Structure 1
Amino acid sequence: MTPVEYTPENKVLVDAFEALLPEQQLKDYWGHDDVEPVRAQIKDHYIAEQQYVCVYCNRQIVTANKALWDAEHIISRAKAARFMFTPENLAISCRDCNIAKGEQDVRTSQPQKFPDTSAHYRIAHPHFDKYADHIRWFGDICAPISEKGAQTLIVCNLTRFTAKLLGVEGKLVDPGFDKQVGELIKAKTKLEAKAALAAVTVYVEDIPQV
Structure 2
Amino acid sequence: MRRGVADADLAAVEAVLNEPDTKGWSSQANCVKNFKSEIMTQGLQMQSSRCVWCTLEVAEEGHRTAHRDHIAPKNPYSQWTFTPMNLVISCEYCNGFKVKGELDTVSVCAEQYANSEFLIVHPYIDDTSIHIQFVDNEAGYPILIEGLTDRGIWTIDAMSLASTHMTKQRAQEFIFSRETEALAAADLDILKRALDRQD
TM-score relative to the length of structure 2: 0.68
| Structure with greater strand percent | 2
The 8 Å contact of residues 2 and 85 in structure 2, kept in 1 or not, is answered as yes
Alignment of 1:5-154 (within 5 A): 5-7=4-6, 10-16=9-15, 20=18, 28-34=23-29, 35-61=32-58, 63=59, 65=61, 68-99=65-96, 100-111=99-110, 113-117=111-115, 120-138=117-135, 139-154=142-157
2:133–2:146 contact (8 Å) kept in structure 1: yes
Q: SS at 2:107's partner residue?
A: coil
Decide which structure has greater helix share: 1
Which has the larger Rg? 2
After TM superposition, the runs of 4+ consecutive aligned structure 1 residues lying more than 6 A away are: none
Residue identity opposite 2:163 in structure 1? R
- Is the partner of 1:71 in helix, strand or coil? strand
- Is residue 2:158 matched to residue 1:160? no
Q: Percent identity?
A: 22
Structure-2 change in CA distance of 1:121 and 1:64 (3 Å)? closer
State the TM-score, normalizing by the size of structure 1: 0.65
Equivalent residue pairs, number: 158
Partner residue of 1:189?
none
Cα pair distance change 1:64/1:75, threshold 3 Å: closer
Give the 3-state SS of the residue equivalent to 1:88 in structure 2.
helix
3-state SS of 1:140 partner: strand
Q: Which runs of 5+ in 2 are unaligned?
A: 136-141, 169-199
Structure 1 residues 146 and 88, CA gap change in structure 2 (3 angstroms)? same
Unaligned runs of 5+ in 1: 166-210
1:52 maps to a residue whose letter is S
Measured in 2, the distance between the counterparts of 1:90 and 1:84 equals: 8
CA offset digits 1:134-162 (Å, max 9, x no partner): 11123332211111111111221112246
CA distance in 2 between partners of 1:106 and 1:76 (Å): 8
Kindly state the Cα deviation for residue 110 of structure 1 after the two structures are TM-superposed.
2.2
Query: Are the counterparts in 2 of residues 141 and 162 from structure 1 also a CA contact under 8 Å?
Result: no
